[in-house]
Copies of this chain bind each other. A is one copy, B any other.
Amino acid sequence: MAQKTLIEAVTDALHHEMAQDDRVVVFGEDVGRKGGVFGATAGLQEAYGTERCFDTPLSECGIIGTAVGMAVYGMRPVAEIQFLDFIYPAFDQIVSEAAKMRYRSGGEYTCPLVIRSPYGGGIRGGHYHSQSSEAYFCHTPGLKVVVPSTPADTKGLLIASIRDEDPVMFLEPKRSYRSLKGEVPEGEHYVPLGVGRVAREGTDVTVVAYGAMVPIVEKAAEKAAELGKSVEIIDPRTLVPLDEELILESVRKTGRCVVVYEAPKTCGFGAEIAAIVAEKAIGHLEGPVVRVAGFDTPFPYSLEHLYMPDVRRVLKGIQRTFEW
């Protein structure tokens, strides 16, 4: 297996699907000749032509509106939104149209499309190039939401998303784009949506984390081990559909739960995990369910390193589950 960065895994998956299914088209701002501002679509236009990989006008509304139309007509559009912070002009098409097409038409029309977008902080992108808005999409019935944390999962989950019969939000942890390298299977590699993974086994406390928070939590787990606490890390991989059982099983075992996410704390996806645990594993809890998250402020520039959950905040969160 080849070592690839997370962003190379994205490119790999796109190549693989474009080669095997000519309904797959890739478009967005700067994805053609430039190959994307991060390079995720590099080489696709050369390989598959300007009809199947092309630049659009500067309108997220138009990108997703046309993607919905293409999907309804039978294509497999993979639209790139340059930064997740810029997805809001398309919000109506996503939540009112893509998410509801199948339901509102009684299954007559469907909308199999993938919206890829880099999300999250840690690249000094400041206010408008750092947001994590996965919770908006998780709260919208009809959307699947995928957040890979490793290069291999990135490839396998992106392939599964493109083949999915429903709209998928595929959120790529841009902080890990180049900082994370790992083995990625060549050729076919399919990681089904809805199946989480145990990123690290442990016995004392469960930490649920996804995307760019997984490597941070892994570091914190090492530290915690030094302090005598055994951390189990659950990476759900897909937030919708959620592998609830995997999380509950772990919490029932450890009796403790921390959720780590970089979005603003209030109403973030971690609230959902905490609520599930409080409803279904309450009898096993030996401490409070703790959320370590972004603060309830817009994303800052100069103080980004204080805003984002880091090892010391994760450790503090773990520690709090032992105090009650």
What CA separation (Å) do A91 and B298 show in the bound complex?
16
Q: Does A316 sit within 8 A of B, measured CB to CB?
A: no
What CA separation (Å) do A146 and B240 show in the bound complex?
28
Query: Smallest CB-CB separation from A93: which chain B residue?
Result: B88
Query: Smallest CB-CB separation from A320: which chain B residue?
Result: B279
Number of copies: 2
* Chain B nearest Cβ from A125, distance in angstroms: 13
Q: Does A264 sit within 8 A of B, measured CB to CB?
A: yes
Query: Could you tell me if B296 and A141 are in contact, using CB atoms closer than 8 angstroms?
Result: yes
* Chain B nearest Cβ from A197, distance in angstroms: 21
Query: Could you tell me if B275 and A279 are in contact, using CB atoms closer than 8 angstroms?
Result: no
Hey, which chain B residues are within 8 Å of A296, CB to CB? 141
Chain A 84-121 near chain B by CB (<8 Å), digits 1 or 0:
01001101100110011001100000000000000000
Chain A 285-300 near chain B by CB (<8 Å), digits 1 or 0:
1011111000111100
Query: Could you tell me if B289 and A282 are in contact, using CB atoms closer than 8 angstroms?
Result: yes
Query: Could you tell me if B298 and A290 are in contact, using CB atoms closer than 8 angstroms?
Result: no
Q: Does A211 sit within 8 A of B, measured CB to CB?
A: no
Q: Does A193 sit within 8 A of B, measured CB to CB?
A: no
Hey, which chain B residues are within 8 Å of A124, CB to CB? none
Query: Could you tell me if B324 and A139 are in contact, using CB atoms closer than 8 angstroms?
Result: no
Q: Does A243 sit within 8 A of B, measured CB to CB?
A: no
Q: Does A274 sit within 8 A of B, measured CB to CB?
A: yes
Query: Could you tell me if B271 and A267 are in contact, using CB atoms closer than 8 angstroms?
Result: yes
A283: which of B139, B140, B268, B324 is its contact (CB, 8 Å)? B324
Q: Does A73 sit within 8 A of B, measured CB to CB?
A: no
Knowing A139-B267, A267-B135 are in contact, say whether A289-B298 is a contact too (CB < 8 A).
Answer: no
What CA separation (Å) do A283 and B279 show in the bound complex?
15
Query: Could you tell me if A282 and B136 are in contact, using CB atoms closer than 8 angstroms?
Result: no
A279: which of B100, B103, B142, B289 is its contact (CB, 8 Å)? B289
Knowing A92-B88, A267-B271 are in contact, say whether A127-B104 is a contact too (CB < 8 A).
Answer: yes
A291: which of B85, B88, B269, B279 is its contact (CB, 8 Å)? B279
Query: Could you tell me if B91 and A88 are in contact, using CB atoms closer than 8 angstroms?
Result: yes
Query: Smallest CB-CB separation from A286: which chain B residue?
Result: B282
Chain A 141-156 near chain B by CB (<8 Å), digits 1 or 0:
1100000000000000
Query: Smallest CB-CB separation from A95: which chain B residue?
Result: B88
Q: Does A277 sit within 8 A of B, measured CB to CB?
A: yes
Hey, which chain B residues are within 8 Å of A56, CB to CB? none
Q: In the complex, which residues 218-264 of chain A have their Cβ closer than 8 Å to any Cβ of chain B?
A: 240, 263-264
Chain A positions near chain B (C-beta within 8 angstroms) = 85, 88-89, 91-92, 95-96, 99-100, 103-104, 127-128, 133, 135-136, 138-142, 240, 263-264, 266-272, 274-275, 277-280, 282-283, 285, 287-291, 295-298, 324
- Add 18 more A-B contacts to A96-B128, A142-B297, A275-B289 (CB < 8 A): A88-B96, A100-B127, A104-B127, A135-B135, A135-B139, A140-B264, A141-B264, A142-B298, A266-B272, A267-B267, A267-B272, A274-B274, A275-B291, A278-B282, A278-B288, A279-B288, A279-B291, A282-B289
A-B residue pairs in contact (CB < 8 Å), sample of 30:
A85-B96, A88-B96, A89-B92, A103-B127, A103-B298, A136-B136, A136-B139, A139-B263, A139-B264, A139-B266, A139-B267, A139-B268, A141-B264, A141-B295, A142-B298, A266-B272, A267-B269, A270-B275, A271-B272, A271-B274, A274-B274, A275-B275, A275-B278, A275-B291, A277-B278, A278-B285, A278-B288, A279-B289, A280-B288, A283-B324
